[in-house]
Amino acid sequence: MKIFIDSAEIDEIKQTYEWGVTDGITTNPSLLKRAVDRRVAGGEKIDIRKYLETILKTAKGTPVSLEVTERKAGKMIEQGQRLYDMFNRVAKNVYIKIPVNPSFSEDEDIHFDGVEAIRALTRKGIPVNCTLIFTPEQALLAAKAGAKFLSPFAGRVDDNLRKKMNIDFDKSEYYPEGGMARNDAVVDDNGIVSGIDLVRKCVQIVTHYGLESEVLAASLRNPRQVREAALAGAHIGTLPFAVIKNMLKHEKTYEGMKSFTRDIVQEYADLK
């Protein structure tokens, strides 16, 4: 599974590329706002164009997703094209992120504007990452429209299921892949029992029909969920910096390091 960093913080991005563990970057409007607000609060003046250019260069040719902020098909297409023209020349690695359905509610019927924008941008040769996927059928339509990446939001599925059960939770807490039961029945959202269940079903559809899209497991919140996304066959997982850092931690690794260090044969360590 390829690992993307889910961040708009340049220092975090640089660090993971220095470690050599990242294969791409995803941003979204909230991540960008957080990064910009933090710098502005620290007294920095931000030139957003230069800031994004630095992110694109840091990615060393690997994909960077930039999300549109418009919601109507025509406007999304225009903005997607504009962002692509403005930034793809920097390092040839821009993917435009389009929501699978930009409606704010069932009543606001712009349900297919995202799919329309995906189709139009794809036809222009602009690669699209389709975001905010919560059902396998949304993923199927996005794939048919030509999206290169399909982003199911695993963590937010788990948040939603826990809310249904009135469970107090911390977002980074593990939620079982097989779901949780209440009154002898596994709690689900239209047949989806966990975020990883959603990822697995998206992968199954893509694989079954030999679709060209890659499943990008998004909204991953802890290392065990990353493992399960990989085992479910996700092509890509996008991880916050904190999750990447937590992936190497294990008490037995620390213990082993202490004993190996204690047992060093000095002549061996000094070999030149």
The total number of residues written for the chain in this structure: 272
Binding site for ligand E4P (CB under 6 A): 6, 26, 28, 131, 151, 153, 155-156, 218-219, 238
Of residues 97, 163, 171, 201, which has the active-site annotation?
97
List of residues 6+ apart from 54 with CB closer than 8 A: 10
Residue 259, token pair as written in the block: 């004993």
Active site annotation includes 249:
no
Q: Which of 137, 122, 259, 125 is nearest to 189 (CA)?
A: 137
Minimum distance of ligand E4P from residue 260's CB (angstroms): 37
Minimum distance of ligand E4P from residue 28's CB (angstroms): 4
Q: Distance between CA 272 and CA 270 in Å, rounded?
A: 6
Minimum distance of ligand E4P from residue 253's CB (angstroms): 27
CA dihedral 194, 28, 70, 75 (to 10 degrees): -100
Nearer to ligand E4P, 98 or 141 (CB): 98
Nearer to ligand E4P, 22 or 28 (CB): 28
Cβ(16)–Cβ(249) below 8 Å: no
Nearer to ligand E4P, 38 or 250 (CB): 38
Residues serving a catalytic function are: 97
